[in-house]
Amino acid sequence: MAASLLALASVLEEAGFSSLEEAGFSSLEEVACSCLEEAGFSSLEEAACSCLEEEDVSPLEEVLLCEEEAGFSTLEELPALSEVPFEEEEAGFSSLEEAGLSSLEEDVSSLEEAGLSSLVRYDSLYGQVTEWDFSKYTPDIVIVAIGQNDSHPEDYMKTDYQGEKAQNWRKHYGEFLKKIRATYPDAWIVCCTTLLQHDIGWDMSISQAVQDLGDKKVSHCVFQRNGKATPGHLRIPEAEEMAKELCQHIRALGIEGYEA
């Protein structure tokens, strides 16, 4: 819930709106339903139930669990739109560098998008598409942390690793890496997921895609507790744990200027 609020606040602020009403929406549910309709869900409850079916948790219980993670004890305690903090502040960090990346002593440029924000900015169905200006920043290292959330609503890597959907996912993941390589010919690319609980099949697929690519400057960082920690949003100690191991992985690559 908190993550949804943060994503929505970011989008509305960039569009010049200070509230849901000013943007033409009466509630978060109205915004979410407009996005869920494209995914084939008729209601928020239907979407939540499909994701939570295996966990035997009701949609309301899931909302309350998310509130507790964010420090809210009731629905009424959720902040007003103008009071929603940046994601980094929610995690207890004032910047990404503070979370551990500063130990590399290099500049960090971060493209961070949550689900709703990505839809609004990069899907023509929801308005004018924002074109990313690749000329503004040329990175030495690109960190790709995607994949694990694709297990919803169907965890096909777990149930049918060699099936059509799993093979199609690996194919498109590999094509995505090729596009990054074409955009940044000299960059190192580090792929990863997180400590958030998910089936090992997703990480196996990433390793396979990286291996099939055959690019010596593309690697896969697997954390010691990869996919085995929190079932919800990452906590501060887990974020610090990941940052430390990611820095170690990068240093071990022997990249000039990033050595231990």
**Chain segment 80-96, per-residue pLDDT in tens:** 433 333 343 344 444 44
Mean pLDDT, residues 168-172: 97
**What is the number of other CB atoms lying within 10 angstroms of the CB of residue 109?**
10
Return the pLDDT at 36: 56
Q: Band of the pLDDT at 43, cuts 50, 70, 90?
A: low
Return the pLDDT at 18: 61
Q: Band of the pLDDT at 227, cuts 50, 70, 90?
A: very high
Taking a C-beta distance cutoff of 8 angstroms, is the pair 255, 188 a contact? yes
| Of residues 127 and 152, more confidently modeled | 152
Return the pLDDT at 135: 86
Return the pLDDT at 149: 87
* CA-to-CA dists, residue 185 to 34, 36, 101, angstroms: 38, 37, 23
- Bridge partners for 190 per DSSP: 143, 219
Q: What amino acid occupies position 52?
A: L
Residue 61 scores a pLDDT above 60: no
3-state SS class at 31: helix
Residue 161 scores a pLDDT above 70: yes
Q: Band of the pLDDT at 71, cuts 50, 70, 90?
A: very low
| Of residues 28 and 95, more confidently modeled | 28
Q: Band of the pLDDT at 134, cuts 50, 70, 90?
A: confident
Q: Band of the pLDDT at 4, cuts 50, 70, 90?
A: very low
3-state SS class at 189: strand
Mean pLDDT, residues 222-234: 92
- Residue 61 token pair: 């219980």
Verdict on whether the full-model pTM lies above 0.85? no
* Neighbouring C-alpha atoms within 13 Å toward the C-beta of 57: 15
Mean pLDDT (the chain, rounded): 73
Mean pLDDT, residues 169-186: 96
Taking a C-beta distance cutoff of 8 angstroms, is the pair 221, 191 a contact? yes
